[in-house]
Amino acid sequence: MNTIRRLFLFFLIGFVANVFGRNIILKQSNDSGIYQKGEKIRVTVFFKDAEPDSFSVKIRINYSGNTENQKIRNTGGEVVIFDESVNGPASLIFEVRAGREFASIGLVVDPGHFTPGTGRPKDMDRYWQKEKKELRALEMDVKSLPVDSIKDGFVCSDVEMNCTGPKPARGYFAKPDAAKPKSLPIVLFVHAAGVQGSWCLSKPENAIYYAKMGKGALCFDLNAHGMLNGQPKEYYTNLEKGELKDYFLQGVESRSDFYFRGMYLRLLRTLDFLTAQLLKDCKATLVTEIGFIDLTCPSTSVYAAINQAKGEKITFGVPYRGHHLDQKFYQEIWENTVYKPKMDFIADFLK
């Protein structure tokens, strides 16, 4: 196998413009939901079945309290609710409500120029250089338990690595069992930071899925919180209600105690573990799915973060996706326009 000196960092952290409520249909003029500065944006709404006499529209601008609200009389057919251009980086979310029906759609303008909202602390680099130095001074202690009933030709382990943060890094590591040193690419599968649910728990099948791609890969499926893997549902429920309740607020006033410090250190520990297998001095390719109506992880913040990265960036913007894709009527659209091309790209990348 040829050596592939790339690290594939995959954030599952979401191209069509039609957004379906049961009755409300929103459309925008650019199917991708991504516009250039000064490009005309046209957003319309029409009602598929029962037509209300009127409906309300809320336009969220840049996720701030700066919103526009209006009540519109329904004249029938397709009604224009926005027909303007925007001359700078921006996010717009359109929310339409008619009686009990609700639908929303989002877009971004000039996303390549989103920047962090606050200044970078002067000692930021020095702080993280110190954190990384202390982490790497800690001799790596890896505990590994083999996972049974794995596809022939592959091995998978439940892995725990010590860390300078308050918890170890934990996840599942899979690879072809006959892999030669420096012969395979790396996939780091990073979940949402929830505590329970299929979207945030590490699973052996995730690691094996990517390890089987192309000519084979080293895949680590990392859970965000350093939780034990493969536990009963009650374990994760108790964490969510207890120790990890409102985890995102823990230590928020001190960078040394800030909860996400530990999460970053676990991520760094996992990267060190992976690059110590086959691979050094690599550049990461980030593949990011961005939901344009996500009010928990705003698209502006996600773009601002990935815009700081120097490696190749592949983004899948999803105008109809919030923090979760839980509406069944979006599933087929998402699978065909986001999930399939994303998986096709990964498979081609790992050849």
pTM, two decimal places: 0.78
User: Over the stretch 140-191, which tens digit does the pLDDT of each residue have?
Assistant: 999 999 998 777 899 999 999 999 989 999 999 999 988 777 778 889 998 8
Among 60, 83, 113, give the residue marking a domain's end: 113
pLDDT value of residue 333: 84
By the 10 Å C-beta count (0-12 exposed, 13-18 middle, 19+ buried), 307 is classed as middle
- Residue 120 DSSP label: P
Q: How far apart are CA 82 and CA 80, in angstroms?
A: 6
Burial bucket for residue 214 (CB in 10 Å: 0-12, 13-18, 19+)? middle
pLDDT: which is higher, 281 or 144: 144
What is the residue whose two structure tokens read 């050596």?
3
Task: Convert the pLDDT of each residue in 292-335 to its tens digit.
Answer: 999 988 999 999 999 988 888 889 999 988 887 756 667 888 88
Return the CATH number at 204: 3.40.50.1820
Same domain, 65 and 192: no
Q: Which residue has the tokens 């130095």?
A: 133
Q: What pLDDT score was predicted for residue 8?
A: 39
- Averaged pLDDT of the chain: 87
Point out the domain boundary residue: 113, 133, 157: 113
**Same-domain pairing of 105 and 192:** no
Range of the domain at 158: 6-14+122-349
Tokens 């800690």 -> residue: 138
Residue 279 pLDDT level (bands cut at 50, 70, 90): low
Per the structure, how many domains does the chain have?
A: 2
Arithmetic mean of pLDDT, 83-93? 95
Tell whether the model's pLDDT for residue 249 goes beyond 90: yes
Phi, psi angles (nearest 5°) of residue 63: 60, 15
**In terms of domains, do 103 and 190 share one?**
no
Q: How many residues does the chain have?
A: 351
Last residue of a domain, one of 92, 113, 134: 113
Quick one: which H or E segment has residue 40?
A: strand 40-47
Please tell me whether residues 103 and 157 are part of one structural domain: no
Is residue 23 located within the same domain as residue 54?
yes
pLDDT at 1: 35
With cut-offs at 50, 70 and 90, classify the pLDDT of residue 282: low
Residues 109 and 157 reside in one and the same domain: no
> Do 84 and 172 share a domain, yes or no?
no
For residue 96, give the CATH number of its domain.
2.60.40.2950
* Domain co-membership, 154 together with 197: yes
Which pLDDT belongs to residue 250?
Answer: 96
Tell me whether residue 1 is in a domain. no
Between 26 and 184, name the one with better pLDDT: 26
67 has which bridge partners? 60
3-state secondary structure of 271: helix
Burial tier of 93 (Cβ tally within 10 Å: 0-12, 13-18, 19+): buried
Rounded CA gap, 243 and 235, in Å?
A: 11
